[in-house]
Amino acid sequence: MAQHEHVRVAVIGSGFGGLGAAVRLRREGITDFVVLERAGSVGGTWRDNTYPGCACDVPSHLYSFSFAPNSEWPRTFSGQEHIRAYLERVADTFGIRPHLRLNHEVAVMRWDTEAFNWVIETANGSTIVADVVVSATGPLSDPKMPDVPGLDTFPGEVFHSARWNHDYDLTGKRVAMIGTGASAIQIVPAIQPRVGRLTLFQRTPPWVMPRADRAIGKAERWLHRTVPVTGTARRGLLWGIRELQVSAFTKYPDGLGLIESIAKAGMARAIKDPALRAKLTPSYRIGCKRILLSSTYYPALARPNVDVVASGLAEVRGSTLVASDGTETEADAIVFGTGFHVTDMPIAERVVGADGTTLAETWKGGMRSLRGATAAGFPNWMTIIGPNTGLGNSSMILMIESQLNYMADYLRQLKVLGAGTALAARPAAVDGWNDRVQQRMKRTVWNTGGCTSWYLDENGRNTTVWPGTTADFRRATRSVDLAEYDVIRAPATARPPTVVAQRSGGSRTPGGAPQAAQEPAAAPNAAPRAVPHAKNAGPDRPVTEEATR
Ligand code: NAP
């Protein structure tokens, strides 16, 4: 039989989630791991999205790892190239390069019920065996193109915002921009000055608030470099403000009316034409869709070379684009800013669980996991930025770091249980967690605000956003509650795995304290117990291979 590389942990993806997982593994003293990356470099969505104007709408001092503060951010909202460079530096500083397997796209990963490990086949023909898989492929990795009839008849250039064709010169061209999401509102002001004519196909107007972007001066950077606590304080302030906003989104959406007035005032300042203002004014509660931040979007729309078609792209007839309302537009190029496969994560089709079912089949009625991480039927497998871990108003890096705490504890628990064991999320625990999340979701602006968004799946269930503060999620993922898992052990002979230890009852509410748990059922040959929880990592120092071996 062929010998395959066998590792303790395989991390899939090398964006913020995958690199963060890799750093955390090394800090936990685990060096027997690989990071499988389908592209030729690290960076995830910040590598793939190179469209003009691409930047983060979360302030940089919050949109970075707590263990890798960066005093050198050039702007309050830094651009894609700086975020990508930051991730490259993280890979270097924390000794992640030796673990990287670039150009290793996962074709399929299967749980082997006999050997009790994951067998991962990559598109380049290699096979890697891993005891544990940490899937960090992210929700924004696979571009979504709408199925527009006649698109294949278009003679011009067509590309997606996340696959920008830099070889195509837009200068003087008639460009159709499809969509008005976070990507499109950055692209529009960036390309408007050089295109001949820009036609924006707006299916739903977004709420747009001003973005207080500015350069961070030398003195400010010097201060953060020489007195690091000032950077920490800045991060803390940015975090605290956003935490205070959460209850408006989750409990009191009517209170968001005031924010709508600010957004409308910003629009009125930039757009003098009442007809255009009417087209651009949303009819749903602010926050229902992601609130977009830009101080240049509305001014760009007011320019004479821009048209807004208040209707979606419905059909293409050669070089004529037809909107749902019948408006016809001639174009040389179409740019799709139509988002990503979020609620139908393509990686789920490639994960095959204990009974041969794929994760996509398991998630057919909607994505569901335990604490955003694990899924019933998929032992020793977890995901970073899984179901209901998204945020409407703060930094996803905070959520990722919470999930890394959970991952670290999961691996500690497995170590205590010994070789040949796996933790399998109990279906009742998964259901309980999701029921409680959905219960909390009922009052939120995402569910009640009167819009349709990619936060909701095709069944109208919100499987993407976390209905609480980041502190709530930090508490809910501090450690693994073994009551929520079956501890299964590899069979001595060829037979399905048997449950050797199981705790019944007891689970924590989302963001809440543990509910009363029943005593663990007596286990014949295993005694699962929580291992002491390590303190979270503090401010970082460079980590080298030698330092953590
Ligand atoms: P998105 O938010 O999913 O927006 C897709 C847009 O395409 C929507 O406006 C949608 O309209 C529109 N659309 C789809 N089909 C259409 C059609 N046939 N005709 C016209 N419009 C159509 O995608 P995105 O802008 O790429 O953003 C995705 C996510 O990426 C964001 O929510 C955010 O999480 C992230 N992102 C973040 C930043 C950042 O600064 N942090 C920047 C960019 C992206 P409807 O609204 O009617 O559905």
Q: What is the pLDDT along the chain (549 residues), one digit of tens a residue?
A: 567 899 999 999 999 999 999 999 999 999 999 999 999 999 999 999 999 999 999 999 999 999 999 999 999 999 999 999 999 999 999 999 999 999 999 999 999 999 999 999 999 999 999 999 999 999 888 899 999 999 999 999 999 999 999 999 999 999 999 999 999 999 999 999 999 999 999 999 999 999 999 999 999 999 999 999 999 999 999 999 999 999 999 999 999 999 999 999 999 999 999 999 999 999 999 999 999 999 999 999 999 999 999 999 999 999 999 999 999 999 999 999 999 987 778 899 999 999 999 999 999 989 999 999 999 999 999 999 999 999 989 999 999 999 999 999 999 999 999 999 999 999 999 999 999 999 999 999 999 999 988 888 888 899 999 999 999 999 999 999 999 999 999 987 544 444 444 433 334 444 443 333 332 232 323 333 232 333 333 222 222 222 222
- Closest C-alpha to ligand 1, atom 26: 339
Residue with structure tokens 């290793």?
104
Confidence (pLDDT) at 273: 97
Between the CA of 14 and the centroid of ligand 1 the distance, in Å, is 23
Which atom, in ligand 1's list, is nearest to the CA of 339? 23
Closest among 434, 498, 424 to 467, alpha carbons compared: 434
Closest among 216, 198, 107, 140 to 384, alpha carbons compared: 140
Q: Which letter does DSSP use for residue 508 in this model?
A: B
Rounded (10°) angle between helices 218-226 and 228-250: 100
CA distances for 228 relative to 116, 233, 235, angstroms: 45, 9, 11
Mutate to test the pocket of ligand 1, among 46, 58, 203, 297 (most ligand atoms within 8 A of CB): 203
Distance, CA of 190 to CA of 343 (rounded, Å) = 29
Rounded (10°) angle between helices 16-27 and 80-93: 20
* 208 SS3 class: strand
Q: Which letter does DSSP use for residue 481 in this model?
A: -
Beta bridge mates, 328: 322
* 309 SS3 class: strand
Q: Are 219 and 412 in contact (CB under 8 A)?
A: no
Hey, what amino acid is at 465? V
Pocket, ligand 1, Cβ cutoff 6 A: 56-58, 140, 146, 161, 178-184, 201, 203-204, 290, 312-313, 337-340, 454
Residue 341 CB neighbours (<10 A): 16
CA atoms within a 13 Å half-sphere pointing along the CA-CB vector of 272 = 2
Between the CA of 188 and the centroid of ligand 1 the distance, in Å, is 13
3-state secondary structure 86-135: HHHHHHHHCCCHHHEECCCCEEEEEEECCCCEEEEEECCCCEEEEEEEEE
- The encoded tokens of residue 329 equal 């537009």
Which atom, in ligand 1's list, is nearest to the CA of 314? 18
* 195 SS3 class: coil
219: part of which helix (H) or strand (E)? helix 218-226
Between the CA of 348 and the centroid of ligand 1 the distance, in Å, is 22
Confidence (pLDDT) at 506: 37
Between the CA of 182 and the centroid of ligand 1 the distance, in Å, is 6
Distance, CA of 179 to CA of 143 (rounded, Å) = 13
Between the CA of 180 and the centroid of ligand 1 the distance, in Å, is 6
Between the CA of 181 and the centroid of ligand 1 the distance, in Å, is 3
Residue with structure tokens 């299916």?
203
